[in-house]
């Protein structure tokens, strides 16, 4: 059996029109200094994202949709651990070391990080605090928190559900049912661009409403039409 230190990590980044973020995202991963596989799965970008990433990582093309893109990346990954990373989320120092250490416990199947938004205002700090509190109380972590999972377990639980929204919450639920899930206390740093673009209060209200409707059983396909307005 592999020891924690010998496990290889594959980082899978789903992108769609991320030319402003993708190069720095890959550079952030490489700055850790570990030999990790980086797979960028492009969902049909028209802004040159694929060309920018081509010299920095392995590139695959897929139909658009984070779930579909991440599942494709997982299928071709060679790592023992899969780390799913948004193009606008940056990993903390020692992130790969912390991930590997998590698997010293044989009951652990995966986990996520705590998170913080970019921006120093009280509003962004409050949002970050609320997200981390919600995660601690209910375990409904999201893709902004850099979800990682043992590759074999990922396929055993069926991968990401092919839905247009909340595939991360669905994955969190499946992971918690299947085994032990950890939360690394270091913070992944997620971009605040969605809140900047649409406004803090408007975005908070819509995202919480969407989440409540999802938990109430409203179809993700229906909710995705509303979500487009807050991205």
Work out the pLDDT band at 211, boundaries 50, 70, 90: confident
Question: CA-to-CA distance for 142 and 151, rounded, in angstroms?
Answer: 19
* Confidence at residue 4, expressed as pLDDT on a 0 to 100 scale: 66
pLDDT digits (tens, 9 = 90+) for 119-161: 888 988 998 998 999 899 888 899 999 999 999 999 999 999 9
Model's pTM, two decimal places? 0.91
Say whether pLDDT at 230 is over 60: no
Q: Which of 32-36, 118-122, 180-184, 204-208 has the lowest mean pLDDT?
A: 204-208
Closest of 162, 166, 227 to residue 198, by C-alpha: 227
Exposed / middle / buried, residue 35 (Cβ in 10 Å: 0-12, 13-18, 19+)? exposed
- Spell out the CATH class of 9-191: alpha beta
pLDDT digits (tens, 9 = 90+) for 97-125: 999 999 999 999 999 999 999 988 898 89
């Amino acid at each position: 059996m592999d020891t924690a230190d010998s496990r290889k990590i594959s980082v899978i980044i789903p992108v769609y029109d991320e030319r402003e973020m993708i190069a720095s995202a890959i550079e952030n991963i490489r700055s850790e200094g570990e030999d990790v596989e980086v797979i960028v799965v492009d969902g049909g970008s028209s802004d040159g994202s694929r060309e920018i990433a081509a010299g920095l990582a392995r590139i695959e093309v897929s139909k658009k949709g984070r779930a579909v893109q991440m599942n494709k990346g997982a299928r071709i990954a060679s790592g023992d651990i899969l780390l799913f990373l948004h193009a606008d989320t940056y990993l903390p120092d020692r992130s790969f070391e912390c991930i590997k250490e998590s698997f010293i416990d044989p009951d652990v199947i995966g986990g996520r990080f705590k998170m913080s938004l970019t921006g120093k205002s009280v509003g962004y700090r409050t949002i970050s605090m609320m997200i981390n509190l919600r995660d601690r109380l209910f375990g409904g972590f999201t893709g902004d928190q850099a979800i990682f999972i043992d590759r074999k377990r990922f396929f055993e639980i069926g991968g990401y559900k092919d839905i247009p929204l909340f595939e991360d919450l669905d994955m969190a639920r499946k992971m918690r049912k299947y085994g032990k899930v950890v939360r690394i206390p270091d913070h992944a740093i997620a971009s605040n661009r969605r809140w900047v673009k649409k406004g803090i209060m408007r975005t908070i209200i819509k995202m919480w409403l969407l989440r409540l409707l999802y938990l109430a059983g409203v179809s993700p396909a229906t909710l995705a039409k509303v979500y487009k307005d807050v991205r």
